Amino acid sequence: MELKRVVVTGIGAITPLGHNITEFWDNLKAGVSGAGPITRFNPEKFKTRFACEVKDYDPAKYFDRKAAAKMDLFTQFALIAAEEGFKDSGLVDFDFKHDRAGVIWGSGIGGINVMTSEVIEYANGDGVPKFSPFFIPKMISDIAAGYISMKYDLRGPNYATVSACASSAHAIIDAFNWIRLGKADIVVTGGSESPIGIAALAGFNSMKALSTRNDDPKKASRPFDKDRDGFVIGEGAGCLILEEYEHAKARGAKIYCEVGGGGASADAHHITAPHPEGRGASQVMRMAIEDAGLKPDDIDYINVHGTSTGLGDKAESLAIKQVFGEHAYNLSISSTKSMTGHLLGGAGAVESIVCVLAMVNDTVPPTINFETPDPEIDPKLDITPNVAKQRPIRAALNNTFGFGGHNASVVFKKL
């Protein structure tokens, strides 16, 4: 069968760098760090006492009190990003077929803080279970997709993808496939996460996965730098409105770019560590590029997974060299996690938006906090250190890799 073309017609985001796309992109280009002391709870007994929180967030600006009380932050963030994306797409004023429009949304751990607080309250109580009737719908990872569908009366496919830090990239790939197979005209996709709480922080600390640079949080996320000591946990959401090309063209929609293709693979190696030679990472990049009908030399920019961990950054750099050969040295590479922190299940969505904006503006955002080269990472790779760079970008690749060995890559290309 002939596959449909899929384009991006709307984007929205709420991140540690801003409450909308404009703030987010301006701060990315400027190399601003979103890290700072944790305010969600008292972290004084934790090894890590900082994170990339969404700054100055007040639910009352977006929801009435009763509505906000029924939703975990990851759902609130999802609805905020989706609203911006929906308005940006122009679909608010267009009479589309609602049974051919859906929502596919990713979240790695959903309402983990709701789970934690309810269990603590029970444990500290009199032994009588007094759980909130909203406990389950606030906690489950698929609820954000449900809320978005109800708000916009989207009656097509509606579900969540859960694959740790690859969750929202898998959501985008699924949305892309629903449309190109002719089963939907529009899919609201992306991901959200709000993990900054005692359970996630303690869990990642016990794994020695988080940076403990408490004296200088803004310089803690330092992908590819020799002195990196772990990732910085973040929160927020990113939304992309994907649409069948002819459908978008017929209604005169603004089109950012085309979704070229996607790939998915497994390391089949370790529950948390990447394959040391980047086996799954190289496979998934090749799959995504081939699916897009491109060659490695057609890619100009990679927004890497680049979490600022010792094993991960090295393995990804090796995989890039395996896939791109000599062209690896012509690529621009950056890890925007150096600024946003790691949004876990929301990372793929937010970083896909970075790829879209990088192409539209022919601007590569920087990898900040790069001070000391790692002798185990090829110094000829252009990681766009510290300062944004202007260059033509024909196609961009977004990498996401999750615990359990889950890998997903998405290719975006100019029309």
Residues belonging to the active site: 165, 305, 342
Q: Reduce the DSSP state of residue 284 to 3 states and report it.
A: helix
Tell me which amino acid residue 197 is. Answer: G
Residue 46 has what DSSP assignment?
S
Q: How far apart are CA 112 and CA 116, in angstroms?
A: 6
Tell me which amino acid residue 246 is. Answer: E
Contacts of 346 (CB under 8 A, 6+ apart): 74, 77, 106, 107, 108, 167, 168, 190, 191, 192, 193, 235, 236, 237, 238
Three-class secondary structure assignment of 330-369: CCEEECCHHHHCECHHHHHHHHHHHHHHHHHHCEECCECC
Q: Reduce the DSSP state of residue 104 to 3 states and report it.
A: strand
Contacts of 117 (CB under 8 A, 6+ apart): none
